[in-house]
Structure 1
Amino acid sequence: MKTANWLIGENLAGYSVWKVGEFVAASHETIVNQLSTRLIEHYRGDHERQLWSWRKQVRILQDALREHLQTHPRARDWGIILEYPLLRLQRRLDAVLLAGDIITIVEFKVGGGSYSPADKRQVEDYALGLRDFHETSRGMPIWPVLCVTEAQEGQLTPLSRDVGEVATTNAESLGEVFAVLSRASERDDATQIDVLEWDAGAYRPVPTIVQAAEQLFAGHDVTEIAAAASDKRNLGETTEALISLIERARQNNEHIVAFVTGVPGSGKTLVGLNAVHDSRFSRHGQNPGAYLSGNTPLVKVLQEALAADARKREGIKADEAKRRVGAAVQTLMNFLREYLNAHPNRAPADHVVVFDEAQRAWDAAYGKQKFDRPKSEASLFLEIMGRHDDWAVIIALVGGGQEINKGELGLSEWGRALNEENANPNTPHWTAVASPEVLEGGEATAWQKLFDEMPGAWVEHDQRLHLDASIRSYGSNAAPNWVNALLAGDLGSAAKIAQSEPDFPVYLTRDLDRAKAWLRQSARGNRRCGLVASSGARRIRADGMGVSLGAAQLDDVAHWFLRERGDIRSSYALEVVANEYGCQGLELDYVGVCWDGDMLWSSQGHCWEPRRLNGAKWQSIRQPDGKSWALNKYRVLLTRARLGTVIWVPTGSETDLTRKPKHYDQIARALSDAGARLLII
């Protein structure tokens, strides 16, 4: 039987769970000793400073609660947890107080003298994380409190049925927080949360791609990240399938290409990163594999974020951090240059490579132009990885509807390349292991297939290689399907999808200032917001949105995604849009999509009609490939959000032929008919 003052996770984390009555009666040194159980392992900074801070924090809490119990004895049954770990996000909550059915998070800044906006956002972010990802906190009132011990008297905020605004207090007035909690929790219908049951609730966060990559490079894994819907396939199952294939190739000296599919935002990149950085590699004295992407902005953002994290975490120099990260996260073109130009006969250092967005592999004509080799990108990778005499694995991550460049051939080129390699007696024999969607065609692959005719026994299927739920849009399971129906022109189906969720998170406005206000209001804590627009959205400059970040502005893109609130270079500034080339593969919590006249709605044809601006006139795009690429640009933009999207459609001008109001009105009407909700703030 677990007791109230049981030290939970003593062999893992070193945090303590109490009933308030026992907590105030305990020696503060006993409590601090419990917290310091795993101090060296979990705190890389100044340990003496951390111990000093804990001693101060525990005394402040005990004194304030002891005084509070004199007038509110029922508070003895409250629960209190110190240093509650959110392990998969590498965070700890200083104190969680469970008063009746109210969850209060108290973040201490011991010795601090002012309430900084960054500190407020920190505790607010903790509260939002519990609401969204902690099983036993869902639907409960959560109150974030910032206690800056030496600051002037703070300000209490009203309790909310959701996540309340951040309250501020100093050490002397902390008791006022407890008084508010007692008044609220002592009502007749309040039920006291059981502290042990609350602590036992599963915490399954959905980190951003940047946060997940930082965890992996710090030695953690992401196999327990859950999809938004519990009945959907877990990333861990797909990761284990890939690791098993790598082990099989290593043990049996095989060459394997594994094709992983998934809906937009389903975690394909996370699975690839997790597979090549699994700790089991080190047992065989192997280096982790390499993650390769043709998406240069994605690579740049990951490299910058990982290098900064490594410098902070390990105290290494910037050059060393960049060197380490650069070997593990590379652009496809740099990999090809090394092994086609610099070392044309050498086997790669890595036995395992992840080829992200493999369906976008370019054709032989581009290979001839770039490397004087008339071979497609798929063929060149099979050739290079085939230089390993013993074994090699290519993990090909396949999405659908994301092709936005000329020369991207899709899955069929991989099928042709594999057939050619396996027909050549002088090259290694490759086994293809693929999700059924790759072999049969489906929505996740935009109905592309690997082969027109199944070639033979060297092709295996594995359902575990398909990810069927978006974890990016964890706030809505319906959002990716809505985007597909919308862009297919099926407004009726899109409307039904939107109506299936009472809080469908896609909004529509004709007012840019209102869209910006909603983004700023929604992006609480450290949630990130930003504006995106198609590279063809050339006339939004008339409304002040003239600067667009794409693949050529890599430093600016990295600043846009990584800089903090208050930095004019960051996405928070809402001054610069990222286009589809600058944001593909990356994500924001809240996104403002600027919809311009490059994508019109035809009420007669019941379809979207893409256009391009040529000089001072719009021209219709009539080629099938061009139409497909244009629609995919908007598919990329509309699937960047994790929590909510607002679409801004300009009103236009009667005096500007490139901005006819009737065209924008038709776009807005179509979006409304498809179920986008009118933004009201």
Structure 2
Amino acid sequence: MGMLQEHLDERIDMVRHALSQDGCEAISHVILEFDFRRRGLRMDCLLLAAGALFVIEFKRSRLGRADRDQVMNYAVNLLEFHKATQAWCTQYQAIVVPVLALTRGTAPNVPDELRLGGHSWPDLAHRPIECDRNTLSQAFALGLSARRSEHSVSAETWLDSPFKPSSSILDATLSLYGHHDVAAIDAHAAPKAAIDASVAEIRCHIDEAIDQRRHHIVFLSGAPGAGKTLVGLDLVMRGPHAREAVFVTGNAPLVDVLNRALGDSYRKQGSRASAWTPTGYRHMDAALVGAAASFKIVKAHNFLGRRGSAHKQEDARVLVFDEAQRTYEKGRQVLGQPLADHEADLILQVQREAYLKVAPLWWRL
């Protein structure tokens, strides 16, 4: 804990010193340790400025490719899934500037010019600005010099933003999944005809719930390995309800297994430029897009906010709830406080409130 506090103090001191320098007056808010929970990401530091969002990742003494990929991934996730950032950039021409800052080492000189685009995100800097304790203020000044507007967003609005996948990443995810043989995930699943029949019946229940403007819960049972997971994935990734469906599971390791399988498939597709044409993204950005495309398969703990609280999300009208029995029970200590209710019940409560009289729910055990 002492080392973590020391590292946090170093970062605060660096940012405070940099912001005291001339040329940084347009920066209005500092957000430390931003928990983008739905994506399982914790970002060191964000700065809100007039017309710019800085995404800062601090490192000790040296920088490598993995560090550059990390901070670019953070920035891409905000552009693809954070509604306030999306609106700020598309409607008001704000830009997103990733920064890598060394707390103790020495970084190369800060460049004289910052280029936007050159990849699939025109509002994002071409590459991270690399700096150290002595040049952090120069990095801020460089980012501010590339602004296309000086429109500000309040910290309250930004922090209260719903989770909303962009139409681009949603289309790309469904397109990439369409090329993936998901049946390979479970070689012992039931025959395809049985899985298709289950999917068709559940879709009828979803349509009925939408027509009646009511919440429905559908239980799907079956022996282990019968293909229940494949039914859920089919509902979330294919068909008429895929754009507003999310697969939430209490089996955290399963999320890693599924996303690894899909990620391997996406990477193989990434070697063929033709597979990326329908996605609207550049072939060169396959790694970043493939990582972002995991958003439809979520750990139950990440679907809720801190300590089981609700947080806004606009992509889960149809909720596939897998292995609810593995979620936390009422009274479980989470971040030093007991949960007010069973995590599964909290998720259902969140759904009821978020989609009042309009949302179907599909919950399978």
- Give the TM-score normalised by structure 2: 0.48
Greater relative CO (CA pairs within 8 A, separation 6+): 2
- Give the TM-score normalised by structure 1: 0.27
Larger Rg: 1
